[in-house]
Amino acid sequence: MNRTKKIGVAGCGALGSIVCDALRDGIEYYDFVGVSDLDEPDFGVPNMSFGDLAETCDIVVECLPPKVVPALAKETLERDKDLLMISACALLLSPEINDMAKKSAGRIMVPSGAIAGLDAISALNFAGIDSATIATTKPPRGLKGAPYIKQKNIDLDEIKGNTLIFRGSALEAAQAFPANVNVAATLSLAGIGPERTQVEVWADPNAQGNCHDITVKGGSSTIKTSVANAPDPSNPKSSMLAGYSLVATLKKRSDKIVVI
Ligand SMILES: NC(=O)c1ccc[n+]([C@@H]2O[C@H](COP(=O)([O-])OP(=O)(O)OC[C@H]3O[C@@H](n4cnc5c(N)ncnc54)[C@H](O)[C@@H]3O)[C@@H](O)[C@H]2O)c1
């Protein structure tokens, strides 16, 4: 049986480049056939439109700005191909993607990204989850350009100490910070959903990186995880761990013993 799948990457910025490098080096059972980016990235494979990439591939890895994701999802799912999606916020902000997935033979897979503990949180669903919270702390520059920062006229340069910027549901957080709280969207999808998952966004000029503290309670368990990521050098909003989580997800197909 030929298990090899044709794979491509849409968006070759900070995270997509990590995936492209790993695929170019070789991941067993994947044939790296193309990319899609506005620039002309040099990974030794052709740069194509979303439609051509979806047509050529069995699986497409998404590493795009969230607002572009619905267009890629449409091209991929209409062709019954699989989508490995890092921009989890897009699933909250563009519910039509869920409808497309329901009609498609293709699937959407969301990796753990920049956080930890989703395996245990998925398991705890079976006992019932009472509460899920995530507090994300970033250096102020990591929140630059977010719709909420603009609407509230927040001067990020004026923040002197650790400051609570936002508190609300994961759905509200995705609308307020579409490029910053993918982790909250992923947590909500693994747990009790975007309306019930609570999110805090903190800006700390002394933060060395992007930190995510999660507390989930239910049944007879309390799950607490804390992840501190150095910002990606090419995009301070992102963490390299998110790129590695995509590569790890792909590698799990070929590992003979898989921890999931
Ligand atoms: N789930 C997580 O934990 C997590 C963590 C960090 C980042 N993210 C998300 O991952 C996504 C990628 O992050 P990044 O840091 O790599 O972003 P980036 O800005 O570094 O890269 C985005 C790439 O997409 C390309 N692009 C933009 N519009 C395009 C279009 N219309 N067609 C083709 N290519 C286009 C850009 O040229 C760029 O190369 C973002 O949505 C980000 O919010 C998720």
Mutate to test the pocket of ligand 1, among 12, 64, 108 (most ligand atoms within 8 A of CB): 64
Ligand 1 contact, 229 CB (< 6 A): no
Does residue 91 sit in the same domain as residue 158? no
Confidence at residue 2, expressed as pLDDT on a 0 to 100 scale:
67
Does residue 89 sit in the same domain as residue 145? no
Instruction: Report the domain count for the chain.
Output: 2
Largest Cα–Cα distance of the chain, in whole Å?
60
212 a catalytic residue: yes
Structural domain includes residue 215: yes
Confidence at residue 235, expressed as pLDDT on a 0 to 100 scale:
87
Does residue 106 sit in the same domain as residue 124? no
Does residue 13 sit in the same domain as residue 65? yes
C-alpha 9/C-alpha 224 separation (Å) is: 33
Q: Read off the pTM.
A: 0.96
Whose alpha carbon is nearest atom 19 of ligand 1?
Answer: 13
Does residue 20 sit in the same domain as residue 97? yes
Give the domain range for residue 163. Answer: 118-229
CATH number at residue 50: 3.40.50.720
Does residue 70 sit in the same domain as residue 123? no
Structural domain includes residue 41: yes
Confidence at residue 1, expressed as pLDDT on a 0 to 100 scale:
59
Q: Determine which one of 74, 81, 138, 212 is catalytic.
A: 212
Whose alpha carbon is nearest atom 35 of ligand 1?
Answer: 37
CATH number at residue 151: 3.30.360.10
Tens of pLDDT, residues 212-221: 999 999 999 9
Structural domain includes residue 209: yes
Ligand 1 contact, 65 CB (< 6 A): yes
Tens of pLDDT, residues 86-140: 999 999 999 999 999 999 999 999 999 999 999 999 999 999 999 999 999 999 9
Structural domain includes residue 73: yes
Confidence at residue 69, expressed as pLDDT on a 0 to 100 scale:
98
Confidence at residue 145, expressed as pLDDT on a 0 to 100 scale:
95
Mutate to test the pocket of ligand 1, among 52, 72, 86, 89 (most ligand atoms within 8 A of CB): 86
Report CA torsion sign: 126, 127, 131, 132: negative
Ligand 1 contact, 14 CB (< 6 A): yes
Ligand 1 contact, 68 CB (< 6 A): yes
Say if residue 194 is exposed, middle or buried (CB neighbours under 10 Å; 0-12, 13-18, 19+): buried
Does residue 169 sit in the same domain as residue 123? yes
Extract the residue ranges of the chain whose pLDDT is less than 70: 1-2
Whose alpha carbon is nearest atom 7 of ligand 1?
Answer: 238
Ligand 1 contact, 63 CB (< 6 A): yes
CA 160 to centroid of ligand 1, rounded, Å: 29
Does residue 54 sit in the same domain as residue 103? yes
Whose alpha carbon is nearest atom 31 of ligand 1?
Answer: 68
Does residue 223 sit in the same domain as residue 124? yes
Confidence at residue 104, expressed as pLDDT on a 0 to 100 scale:
98
